[in-house]
Copies of this chain bind each other. A is one copy, B any other.
Amino acid sequence: MSLLVVGTVAFDSVQTPFGKVDRVLGGSATYFSYSASFFCPVRLVSVIGSDFPEDHLSMLRDRGVDLEGLEKHDGDTFAWTGRYEGDMNEAETLDVALNVYGDYLPSLPESYQDSRFVFLANGSPESQMKVLDQVKDPKLVVADTMNHWITSAPDGLKDLLKRIDALVLNEGEAKMLCDEQNLVTAGERILTMGPRLVIIKKGEYGSFMLSRDGARFAIPAFPVDVVKDPTGAGDSFAGGMMGYLAKNDACDDGSIRRAMVFGTCMSSFVVEDFSLDPFKRLDKDGFWNRYHEFVRFITV
């Protein structure tokens, strides 16, 4: 089933206790797409600048990522600089250069408008809704958001929440969105704002799902021995999850639970090294070994 993602394609400069990389391939839509591409083809909507190298594009194309929706504008590509320290659970943003992303409003090629599974990676609620306006009959719309939009665009976010099926967000953001310290209460409150499903990402503590029909589900993260760079973990989680759902054309409770397992496995790889390097080294055997190890890890 068709899977669409809108988000950033970016250059990341990242420093962690394990090293430093400069202007490597990053961005929410990139991590999401590469992760989802292990399960199904992906349609990518984003913008890059004239400085973006062709070999990144051909690499994504080779993974089955459709780039018809990736616009190239005059100027520089979106660039993020950040640092992780201590328990590595949160990035410190050192610099954001929006560049061509600054005045970009996503526009869908006609061939994308029949997309059934849609992931709106972190972005302004305005741009996220602009995408929804262009999708004709989506089966499952999942959005991510961030503290930035919770404080700077609360009304837009409120409108967006009424138009999506599921919200995926970090623990701190869930608490902030509801001004509530108890995560269960925060999750329940988000369900009253529109989505029928909330998936809360807790980093190394795993993820937690609540649905409006009363289902609740949680899984730990895979125990990664060395976390070198957490960048992209959340989007890789979403990519594995949505890739699994789109592949199976499903969004029932059991499928969502299984999809969270697949998402957790994908995010466990990506943190093991910088940028998309772990994905580039990953083959089917590597994936299924991790999957079975994770299932043993969570099975009573």
How many A residues, CB 8 Å from partner?
32
Partner-binding segment picked from A105-113, A116-124, A181-189: A181-189
**Contact residue among B182, B216, B258 (Cβ-Cβ distance under 8 Å from A297):** B216
Name the residue in A216, A220, A299 with the highest tally of chain B Cβ atoms < 10 Å from its Cβ: A220
Question: Which residues of A1-22 have CB atoms within 8 Å of chain B's CB atoms?
Answer: none
Q: Known contacts being A218-B220, A223-B208, is A261 close to B181, with CB within 8 Å?
A: no
> What is the bound-complex CA distance between A202 and B298, given in angstroms?
16
**Contact residue among B220, B225, B227, B257 (Cβ-Cβ distance under 8 Å from A300):** B257
Using an 8 Å CB-CB cutoff, how does the interface string of A241-263 with B read, 1 for contact, 0 for none? 00000000000000001100100
> What is the bound-complex CA distance between A219 and B226, given in angstroms?
21
| Residues of chain B within 8 A of A227, CB atoms compared | 182
Verify if A91 is at the interface (C-beta below 8 Å from B): no
Verify if A104 is at the interface (C-beta below 8 Å from B): no
Verify if A288 is at the interface (C-beta below 8 Å from B): no
Using an 8 Å CB-CB cutoff, how does the interface string of A29-72 with B read, 1 for contact, 0 for none? 00000000000000000000000000000000000000000000
Q: Known contacts being A298-B298, A300-B261, is A220 close to B204, with CB within 8 Å?
A: no
Verify if A86 is at the interface (C-beta below 8 Å from B): yes
**Contact residue among B181, B218, B257 (Cβ-Cβ distance under 8 Å from A88):** B181
- B300 x A298 contact (CB < 8 A): yes
User: What are 16 inter-chain pairs, A to B, with CB distance below 8 A?
Assistant: A87-B181, A88-B181, A182-B225, A184-B225, A185-B225, A206-B220, A208-B223, A216-B223, A217-B298, A218-B220, A218-B223, A219-B220, A219-B300, A257-B300, A258-B300, A298-B300
Chain A residues in the interface with B (C-beta under 8 A) = 86-88, 181-185, 188, 202, 204-206, 208, 216-220, 223-227, 257-258, 261, 295, 297-300
